[in-house]
């Protein structure tokens, strides 16, 4: 596959599943949300782009167009918690150690709630662009991956500060922090970047991060690490890569993975679980063999994957949320209450934006 063809492939409009918008990497641009999204009917359950679970097991689901939903009972019932949000297109969710919940949105920036989502306040002072695709809470410090690089909000700060200069105007999709406080960023166009603790500049990490034709993988959707500090990079259409030396070198581990569009990665002592555009898969052999984990997963276009522990997994899909209590061996849909909450939130404060998020 030539570089020209590969870029052309990314620009093909994305398919629709159950009427929900699909940000499929292999079919649409992995950059900013520029493609028009009008004339998309509302799904029975919204497309869930982000998930987060609190210490008390409270579950939050960020949807693409219907705001944030909360469940106190593992998804048996849901309530819409979007008062104060001026953008219902949620791209990122994280919960700080003090219980505060943060969301990143398509065009509204970052919002904070200190009351389990009952109300939200904008937190955008200092941000140049308000497309926020990644949020990372490190103690009382918050990092944001935006359409203009990485920003940091320190404890007690009210204004964001750019995390070093260089690679400005770069869309950040994902952030992960190493045990030594090294910060890694997955980007659109520059692959994986690394910033060492108290470092002065970003370093691009691309050795071995190449597809089967030798082309560098520049579009990284997901980053994760395991307990041994191995790093995993999930690409938009090139599968999964693994690094055991802090990103200095990478090895592909997904040659036998049925789908190369990676949407989520969970690493544990029971193996590596990967969410793709065509289901969820697991390997216990560093990618030599992949096993499908799709029993009961009636929507295979997965957008988000989280593991709060105890064998429990949650998957956000293009048609709602699914829960597994056995490390992904079987799944059950938990969107019945989500649909009801969506209906009650139909008259949302961002209706004037339309399905595209534009006025």
Residue 21 has what pLDDT?
35
Which pLDDT value is given to residue 214? 86
Confirm whether 180 is domain-assigned.
yes
Residue 253 CA to residue 168 CA, distance in Å, equals 31
**Tens digits of pLDDT across the chain (359 residues):** 444 434 433 333 333 333 333 333 333 334 444 434 344 444 478 999 999 999 999 999 999 999 999 999 999 999 999 999 999 999 999 999 999 999 999 999 999 999 999 999 999 999 999 999 999 999 999 999 999 999 999 988 999 999 987 788 899 999 999 989 999 999 999 999 999 988 889 999 999 999 878 889 999 999 999 999 999 999 999 999 999 999 999 999 998 898 889 999 999 989 999 999 999 999 999 999 999 999 999 999 999 999 999 999 999 999 999 999 999 999 999 998 786 666 655 555 555 444 444 43
Q: Strands, DSSP E only, in 206-270? A: 220-225, 231-235, 240-243, 251-252, 262-268
CA 205, CA 154: separation in Å to the nearest integer? 27
- The dihedrals phi and psi of 48, each to the nearest 5 degrees, come to -100, 115
Query: Which range marks the domain in which residue 312 is found?
Result: 45-353
Q: What is the pLDDT of residue 337?
A: 76
Q: Is residue 173 part of a domain?
A: yes
Instruction: Give the pLDDT score at 336.
Output: 85
| Domain membership flag for residue 8 | no
* Burial environment of residue 202 by CB neighbours within 10 A (0 to 12, 13 to 18, 19 or more): buried
Of 19, 30, 45, 23, give the one whose Cα is nearest residue 189.
Answer: 30
In a domain, 23, yes or no: no
In a domain, 15, yes or no: no
Q: How far is it, in rounded angstroms, from Cα 330 to Cα 157?
A: 44
Helix-strand-coil split of the chain, %, nearest 5: 5, 40, 55
Total tally of structural domains belonging to the chain:
1
- Could you tell me whether strands 149-153 and 141-146 are parallel, antiparallel, or unpaired per DSSP bridges? antiparallel
Write down the pLDDT at residue 342.
62
Contact of 342 with 46, CB cutoff 8 Å = yes
In a domain, 163, yes or no: yes
CATH number, domain of 139, equals: 2.130.10.10
What pLDDT, on the 0 to 100 scale, is given for residue 253? 95
pTM for this entry: 0.84
Q: Is residue 266 part of a domain?
A: yes
Task: Determine, yes or no, domain membership for 253.
Answer: yes
């Amino acid at each position: 596959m030539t570089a020209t063809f590969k870029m052309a492939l990314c620009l093909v409009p994305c398919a629709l599943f159950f009427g929900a918008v699909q940000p499929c990497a292999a079919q649409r641009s992995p950059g900013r949300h520029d493609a028009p999204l009008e004339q998309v009917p509302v799904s029975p359950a919204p497309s869930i782009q982000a998930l987060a679970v609190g210490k008390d097991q409270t579950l939050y689901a960020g949807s693409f167009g219907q705001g944030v939903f909360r469940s106190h009972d593992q998804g048996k019932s849901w309530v819409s918690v979007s008062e104060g949000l001026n953008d219902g297109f949620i791209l990122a969710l994280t919960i700080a150690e003090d219980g505060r919940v943060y969301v990143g949105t398509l065009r509204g920036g970052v919002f904070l709630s200190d009351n389990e989502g009952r109300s939200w306040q904008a937190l955008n002072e200092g941000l140049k662009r308000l497309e926020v695709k990644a949020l990372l809470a490190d103690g009382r410090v918050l990092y944001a991956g935006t359409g203009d690089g990485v920003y940091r909000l320190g404890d007690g700060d009210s204004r964001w500060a750019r995390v070093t200069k260089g690679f400005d105007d770069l869309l950040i999709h994902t952030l992960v922090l190493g045990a030594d406080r090294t910060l890694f960023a997955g980007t659109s166009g520059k692959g994986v970047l690394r910033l060492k603790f108290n470092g002065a500049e970003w370093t691009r990490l691309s050795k071995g991060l190449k597809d089967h034709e030798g082309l560098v993988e520049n579009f990284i959707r997901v980053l994760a690490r395991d307990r041994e500090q191995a790093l995993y990079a999930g690409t938009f259409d090139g599968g999964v890569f693994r690094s055991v030396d802090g990103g200095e070198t990478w090895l592909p581990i997904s040659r036998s993975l049925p789908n190369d569009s990676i949407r989520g990665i969970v690493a544990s002592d029971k193996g590596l679980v990967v969410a793709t555009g065509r289901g969820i898969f697991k390997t216990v052999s560093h990618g030599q063999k992949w096993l499908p984990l799709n029993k009961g997963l009636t929507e295979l276009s997965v957008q988000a994957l989280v593991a709060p522990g105890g064998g429990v997994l949650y998957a956000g899909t293009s048609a709602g949320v699914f829960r597994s209590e056995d490390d992904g061996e079987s799944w059950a849909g938990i969107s019945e209450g989500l649909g009801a909450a969506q209906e009650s939130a139909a008259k949302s404060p961002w209706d004037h934006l339309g399905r595209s998020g534009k006025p």
